[in-house]
């Protein structure tokens, strides 16, 4: 398929060819769902911790004698039915991360890229950088390409430290490398900018069998 390439002034300068297998395929909703869920699960810290009746700091002595008081029998104040007692089946530290098959991850990324092209939320832009590393210079470039304040994802051709530095103060902007895409960021990004070289890299990286 053909796609337009825009300059940093927002004008069309040429056309490039994109791989249909990557940018114009049928969207697999199931693969996208599992990829996003996997990323969210892998980000969970899992440090929630409650104390059982064996861990709370209370006396082990019996609060009153077994019979004759009129109260229900009680063994100690650490019982879960007492205020300040232990917790039954409460959370303990655990690892929520898990793996999904590589083929499913690749299918999810190709589906998301195709979805953005289909919904006209993706734009190919000529390679650029921000040599000054200043936020205002990057915002000036983005003002010609995307709508401000909308969640935007820029797919880079390499790990450009200066452009990342310029964009770290922009709350609605995210950066991704072509070989380390995020299903969550692509799904929720309202606008996706792909650098021209990165588009070619995506053709090769996800187009090969």
Q: What is the pLDDT along the chain (209 residues), one digit of tens a residue?
A: 898 999 999 899 988 999 999 999 999 999 999 999 999 999 999 999 999 999 999 888 999 999 999 999 999 999 999 998 999 999 999 999 999 999 999 999 999 999 999 999 999 999 999 999 999 999 999 999 998 788 999 999 888 899 999 999 999 999 999 989 999 999 999 999 999 999 999 999 888 65
Q: Please identify which residue in the block is written with the tokens 């006209």.
A: 120
Beta strand extents in the chain (DSSP E only)? 2-6, 12-17, 122-125, 152-156, 173-177, 191-195
Sign of CA dihedral 188, 190, 195, 197: positive
Collect all residues with Cβ–Cβ distance below 8 Å to 7 and sequence separation of at least 6. Answer: 13, 125, 126
- Entry pTM: 0.84
Sheet architecture: strand order including 122-125: 12-17, 2-6, 122-125, 191-195, 152-156, 173-177
pLDDT score, position 209:
56
Domains of the chain (ranges, CATH numbers): 2-27+108-207 (3.40.1370.10), 46-93 (no CATH)
Confirm if 49 and 91 have CB atoms less than 8 A apart: yes
């Amino acid at each position: 398929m053909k796609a337009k390439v825009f300059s940093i002034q927002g004008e069309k300068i040429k056309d490039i060819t994109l791989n249909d297998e990557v940018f114009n395929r049928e969207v697999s909703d199931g693969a996208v769902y599992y990829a996003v869920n996997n990323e969210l699960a892998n980000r969970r810290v899992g440090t929630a911790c409650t104390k059982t009746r064996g861990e709370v700091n209370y006396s082990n002595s019996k609060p009153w004698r077994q019979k004759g008081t009129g109260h229900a029998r009680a063994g100690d104040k650490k019982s879960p039915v007492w205020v300040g007692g232990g917790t039954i089946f409460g959370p303990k530290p655990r690892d929520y991360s898990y793996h999904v098959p590589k083929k499913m991850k690749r299918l999810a990324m190709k589906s998301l890229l195709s979805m953005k092209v289909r919904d006209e939320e993706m734009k190919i832009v000529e390679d650029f950088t921000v040599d000054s590393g200043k936020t205002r210079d990057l915002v000036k470039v983005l003002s010609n390409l995307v709508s401000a304040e909308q969640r935007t994802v820029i797919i880079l051709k390499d790990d450009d430290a200066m452009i990342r530095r310029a964009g770290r103060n922009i709350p609605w902007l995210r950066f991704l490398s072509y070989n380390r895409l995020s299903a969550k960021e692509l799904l929720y990004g309202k606008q996706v900018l792909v650098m021209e070289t990165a588009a070619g890299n995506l053709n090769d990286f996800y187009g090969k069998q």
